[in-house]
Amino acid sequence: MRTQRRTGKGDRGNYSGKHRSHGLHFLALTDEKGRLIWISAARPGRTHDNTAVRHEHILAHLRAVGLGALADLGFRGLDNNIHDPVIVTGYAATRTHKLTPGQKEANRVLAVGRAPVEHGFAHLKNWRILAKLRADSAHATQLLRALLVLKNLEGNR
């Protein structure tokens, strides 16, 4: 999530070279209809998805309650349990390895399942206060969790 840059050298950790902007990284879990259930603590923008999942111990929590998650290709290589995966990701093609028709169909099915989830993330990013955020990650975490409560209250009306 993009934020405004704070002045000084203290904000360099929030710079993402991939997106070429300052921001914060957080993970969110939604249900199958796209309603937000949980938001992780905000981390610097340079944090990779897999690193954030490992720090939050999401795989262990999902296994403990018997749930799974559909994820994008940013989470590839996270779950090494081939027979009982907790996080399901799509297949990626390379220059030398083209996808088979079965893999393409699996990616289509996964995209259909993830579409409502992406809508849930889009609704969270529509809060304008997050684009003007200049606080550190601890304050941003409190703000994100408060927005989660407000979003759930709005959705229950």
Residue 144 lies in a domain: yes
Residue 19 lies in a domain: yes
What are the 10-residue block averages of pLDDT along the chain, 157 residues in total? Answer: 50 51 74 82 75 82 86 80 80 92 94 86 72 65 79 67
Residue 1 lies in a domain: no
Which pLDDT score, from 0 to 100, does residue 155 have?
62
Which pLDDT score, from 0 to 100, does residue 95 have?
92
Residue 4 lies in a domain: no
Residue 37 lies in a domain: yes
- Domain that includes residue 120, residue range: 9-155
Torsional class of 3: left (φ above 0), alpha (ψ -120 to 50), beta (otherwise):
beta
Which pLDDT score, from 0 to 100, does residue 148 have?
77
Could you write out the three-class secondary structure of 34-74? CCEEEECCCEECCCCHHHHHHHHCHHHHHHHHCCCEECCHH
Residue 2 lies in a domain: no
- pTM of the full predicted structure? 0.67
Which pLDDT score, from 0 to 100, does residue 131 have?
64
* Token pair for 98: 């083209």
CA angle 30, 31, 36 (to 5 degrees): 35
Query: For the chain, what is the domain count?
Result: 1
Which pLDDT score, from 0 to 100, does residue 151 have?
73
The rounded distance, in Å, linking the Cα atoms of 127 and 3 is 12
Residue 75 lies in a domain: yes
Residue 70 lies in a domain: yes
